[in-house]
Amino acid sequence: MAMAAHVRWCMSASTDELRVRQKAVTPSRVRFDVTVPKKQVKRAFEDVVTEYQKEVKVPGYRKGSKVPLQVLAQKVGQENLRSAAVELIMRQTMWEACAAVRDRALEDSERLETSVGELLREFSPEKDFEYAVSVEIVPEIGWKKPYKGLQVEVQAAGNDAVAQAEVERMVQEKKKDLGTLRVVVDRGLEKGDVAVISFDAKKITEDGEEGDDIVGAKRDSINFDTADGDNFLPGLVEGVLGAQRGEERKIDLFFPEDWKPEALRGIKGRFTVKVQELFVRDLPQDESVLANALVDGAVTLQEAMEKLLEKEKKAIEEATEARVQEAILAELAEAIEMAAPEYLIEEQGKQQYAARLLELQALGQVTYEQIQNMSTEEKLRDYIDSERGQLERIVKSTMAVEEIFKLEGLDLTSEEIQAEVERAEDEFKQMGEQFDRERLIEQAQELLKGGKVLGWLKDNSTVTLTPPAASA
């Protein structure tokens, strides 16, 4: 969608013939070349001088008296007088200069296009004052296809079988946590045992004989839990079942796709595995101990599993709903026809990058020094450039939501807004953090608008759920 670049002169009624030349730089950014007449420039400079005369104490003059300009300039500095005058002129005129797009301007997107150094250098109370400023605006919005009747296909996050399997996995993991290991001396390894093993591997020649050692395959004295051993090295559990303490076995296995080093992934080798120690896990006999460990207050294992199953089903339902919303938003970004404002792309990128750094720091994956090195304009710009596609989609879907909210006449009640604000306030108070209530109200409205529009879109779209991966 191209917006024709245009130039026009605007006259302002509230200032002394402020001259403004407006030009569309991009479909979403407009530049204003502003000329402030000499009369207004001189008046602003005089106002600054008067203010300094009131506030600055000059030896030999009473405070507030008319100090000669030359004397005042020597006291406060000519540069400070010029800087204060430039700031005052900008404050007085910038809002009026952008009047043509004021109702479409994005908050805080103003950008001074003339350098401060040039403004100070060129300033004189005896001539017109010129500067350039640009602002990002909400671009014209169109639709490549109707937003009503979208069709999305989403893979369910799970089902009852997946939820049941997850609960059983949680029970087994908790049993491991509560169990104690006891040395086994009178039998071979069985499924469920824990062993200490060492192994290395050799290449297999074309005639099936052992070849050279495989570098990167050797492991010494590692704990091997047969309950989930195949996740580590597929086929290893089957190959060592029945092995006695101290026994060695040779097994042909493929290195899994998550093996390190990566160069060995998918390669077949002949493993020599030695079982050094063998343990059986003794589980707690008192069922209530396991039940309470799984769910606080639960007395029986059945009670704990029922509560866990209910929780897991709800989590799957919420995860599936999130996938549906993401799919709808993705379709929405494809349906809307507009140029995503660069300012919003950058703001979204800043938020994502900051959140990423905080997450890395919270997980302990980077040091403070590394965070400092990553917190540069260059690194941020690299991130925005690399993620530009998904950042544009987020901006487009967000603006599409705003547009649909207006087009469909959706609204928010004061009760809804108040409830959301109070919820957010409670969160901040619990964390002991300060907050800006006005900003919370804005955020509450944005959140609620999004929810209303997504609900409307879902009701007016065709959503097809496919089976989860686990049951495919």
Complete DSSP assignment for 341-353: PHHHHHHHHHHHH
CA distance 52 to 81: 9
- Note the pLDDT of residue 245: 93
Taking only Cα atoms into account, the Rg of the chain, rounded to an integer number of angstroms, comes to: 35
The strand pair at 462-466 and 151-155 is best described as parallel
- Note the pLDDT of residue 456: 97
- Note the pLDDT of residue 257: 85
Number of residues assigned to the chain: 472
Please give the full DSSP string across 152-192, using - where no structure is assigned. Answer: EEEE-S--HHHHHHHHHHHHHHHHHHH-EEEE--SS---TT
Is the full-model pTM beyond 0.85? Answer: no
Helical H runs in 265-300? Answer: 287-294
Amino acid, res. 431: M
Other Cβ atoms less than 10 A from the Cβ of 414: the count is: 7
Residue 180 buriedness (CB in 10 A; 0-12 / 13-18 / 19+): exposed
Query: CB-hemisphere CA count at 13 Å for 455?
Result: 8
CA distance 319 to 261: 34
Whether the ω angle into residue 261 lies within 30 degrees of 0, i.e. cis, is: yes
- Note the pLDDT of residue 305: 96
Domains of the chain, earliest start first: 7-140 (3.30.70.1050), 180-282 (3.10.50.40), 318-471 (1.10.3120)
Please give the full DSSP string across 185-249, using - where no structure is assigned. Answer: -SS---TT-EEEEEEEEEEE-TTS-EEEE-TT--EEEEEEETTSGGGTSTTHHHHHTTPPTT-EE
CA distances 138 to 33, 100, 105, 472, Å, are 20, 13, 6, 44
- Note the pLDDT of residue 7: 29
Torsions phi, psi for 296 (to 5 deg): -55, 125
- Note the pLDDT of residue 171: 92
- Note the pLDDT of residue 195: 92
Residues in the chain with pLDDT values less than 70: 1-16, 64, 229, 470-472
